[in-house]
Amino acid sequence: MKLLRHGAPGAEKPGLLDADGHIRDLSAHVSDLAGRWLTPEGLAEIAALDVSSLPLVDGNPRLGACVAGTGKFICIGLNYSDHAAETGASVPSEPIIFMKATSAIVGPNDDIEIPRGSEKTDWEVELGVVIGKTAKYVSEAEALDHVAGYCVINDVSERAFQTERQGQWTKGKSCDTFGPTGPWLVTKDEVADPQNLGMWLTVNGHRYQDGSSRTMVYGVAHLVSYLSQFMSLQPGDIISTGTPPGVGLGQKPNVFLKAGDVIELGIEGLGTQRQTCRQG
């Protein structure tokens, strides 16, 4: 299934994309795409519905983030060896973990706000993993049993805030609008191999990123297992798994986002995003 949330910010309703690409409203059956509705049992209830009986959503509504109630937005740094090389960093011997504030989460086509004082706002297309069943001390072999599905994430980053100011990366990753998520939560049964998905990103029509999840250093199963050794992962938590090469910081000379720029990105089978940048 391709699950989504549609409507005005703060008033999104759950829905799904039918076989003809039309949005069907789920709100008579599902409170929101959060909590128990992301569990295997909840997803099975949604899958058992007669899609043709669900109301069609008229027009072209705004899409919100494809998951609600996210408690943790966990990101993995330098998880593509070719991206590490372009930033001048070495491949880490263990996954690099940092957190992105959940207040950064927005819809896939919402504007990106260039924060005040920004010098180096950058882009990163990433594969998002949405947890569906609590994971604590799980093995790599059982890790994917705890995944509800996958989505597209733009891990927007302010590099000067991230690496040239004191402290950790969080403040360069957590600005408002820095977490476009969606358009859909694609359930794992529709993703044959999360480690073989094409990924791309353009700015103003120029393709900067053109990679694949197969070049991840640490794959999805490893990351879920690894993270679960340090913290429980709960339904609605998001893991953003790193980006392939082609970020603005890696260009020579560097290229960073400015007001008016248009970003488009996508992952094979998971849909596309489009954002316009505006000054905060």
CATH number at residue 180: 3.90.850.10
What is the rounded (10 degree) CA torsion for 27, 31, 37, 43?
A: -20
Domain that holds residue 168: 73-279
Same domain flag for 218 and 110: yes
Domain count, the chain: 2
Q: For residue 24, is it within any domain?
A: yes
Same domain flag for 20 and 115: no
Token digits of residue 16: 């799904």
Per-residue pLDDT of the chain (280 residues; tens, 9 = 90+): 999 999 999 999 999 999 999 999 999 999 999 999 999 999 999 999 999 999 999 999 999 999 999 999 999 998 997 777 777 777 889 999 999 999 999 999 999 999 999 999 999 999 999 999 999 999 999 999 999 999 999 999 999 998 888 778 889 999 999 999 999 999 999 999 999 999 999 999 999 999 999 999 999 999 999 999 999 999 999 999 999 999 999 999 999 999 999 999 999 999 999 999 999 9
Same domain flag for 79 and 207: yes
Same domain flag for 218 and 116: yes
Same domain flag for 240 and 123: yes
Report the predicted TM-score, pTM, of the whole model to 2 decimal places.
0.96
Beta strands in the chain (DSSP E): 2-6, 13-17, 23-25, 73-77, 96-99, 105-106, 112-114, 121-122, 125-131, 147-154, 157-158, 179-180, 185-187, 198-203, 206-212, 238-240, 262-267, 271-279
Q: Are strands 105-106 and 179-180 parallel, antiparallel or unpaired?
A: parallel
